[in-house]
A = this chain, B = another copy of it.
Amino acid sequence: MRIVIDGMGGDNAPEEIVKGAADASKLIDHEICIVGRASQIEAELEKNGYAGNNIKVVNADDVITMEDSPVKAIRRKTDSSMVVGLTMVKEGKGDVFISGGNTGALVVGARMILGRIEGIDRPVLASIYPCLGGKPSLLVDAGASSEAKAHNLLEYGLMGSIYMEKVWGREKPKVGLVNLGVEESKGTSVTKDAYKKLHAAPLNFVGNVEARDIPVGVCEVIVCDGFVGNVILKLSEGLAWNILKLVKNQFMVNTRTKLAGLMVKPQLSSLKDEFDYAEYGGAPVLGVSGPVIKIHGSSNSVAVKNAIIKSIPYSQEKVVDIIKKSMLDLEEIIEKDEEE
């Protein structure tokens, strides 16, 4: 297979992208294709002492920036690394596209260039959510759309479940709906309706979940609208980071605590890794007709390398095809929703 990566997307592009690709190329047999300003990318490859033959460079002169308006940028910047990369997947010249660029543009571009999967009302960004002392979950929607209807939440649950099964090897992933309480009767009219639909779908739906149980992995697919998803991701990040900082400060109080800090240093470092998003291989865009992965704009080469590795099962396990097929089974449930 051929993995296409946006050489110009993100704060550390092209340096960290190229380094990550070079590191990944030593671990995998597949071809990696870096799209972007060829001269810059080739210079970086040289800097990294790359001498292999499974990295190719495809030139694209333009770059979509963080300030660009998504729809306009996709329409007008036809020679940007993002548009060129997505088009390669569309035309079968690539099997998956990875980018650390403008999130809105990537989701819009994936929808406009690759197209939605038939039956999917709204493609969505899903993010790996690191659980404390356990395996990570997937959060859908990670912030692509701030509002959602009941049938959107059903789609999120279905696509997330397939992704976790095929890419993360989870058997019958537990799907949970974020709500005010675990009882079926809780929440808004949208969550009540979504509960019924998720319950009726061929999923391992564990019902409503409360936010307090999310960090310990009460479910493997966390379903919510993008506003709530954004709050969950950012609050977890802010809180975890600041608590660890506070813990660290407690070791700086006096000589005795400083000594204690030295004694427990390896253990505390392993704790920090729990929250390291770079370890998880990026966020899939689900619901479009091709595998697309968003990585953090601030991704370092480790995050790039991990995303490249995780992109292989996303493409090879035919996640997109399985979502397409599963949507046929769901048609009836979704139609019921629209009649109501």
Interface residues of A (CB under 8 A from B): 132-133, 143, 146-147, 178, 180, 187-188, 210-216, 226-228, 230-240, 242-244, 246-247, 249-251, 253, 256-257, 259-261, 263-264, 267-268, 270-271, 274
Contacts and interface: CB of A to CB of B under 8 A. Distances in A.
Contacts of A216: 238, 242
A233 B232 CA distance: 11
Contacts of A212: 234-235, 237-238
A295 B149 CA distance: 34
Given A212-B235, A214-B235, A247-B268, 12 more contacts: A143-B180, A210-B234, A214-B238, A215-B238, A231-B231, A239-B239, A243-B243, A246-B271, A250-B267, A250-B271, A251-B264, A257-B264
Contacts of A247: 247, 268, 271
Contact of A231 (B215, B232, B240, B257): B232
Nearest to A263: B260
A59 to B, nearest CB: 33
B239 A215 contact: yes
The 8 tightest CB contacts between A and B, nearest first, are A212-B238, A250-B267, A260-B263, A211-B235, A211-B234, A212-B234, A260-B260, A260-B264
Contacts of A239: 132, 215, 235-236, 239-240, 243
Contacts of A238: 210-216
A230 B215 CA distance: 15
Contacts of A230: 180, 211
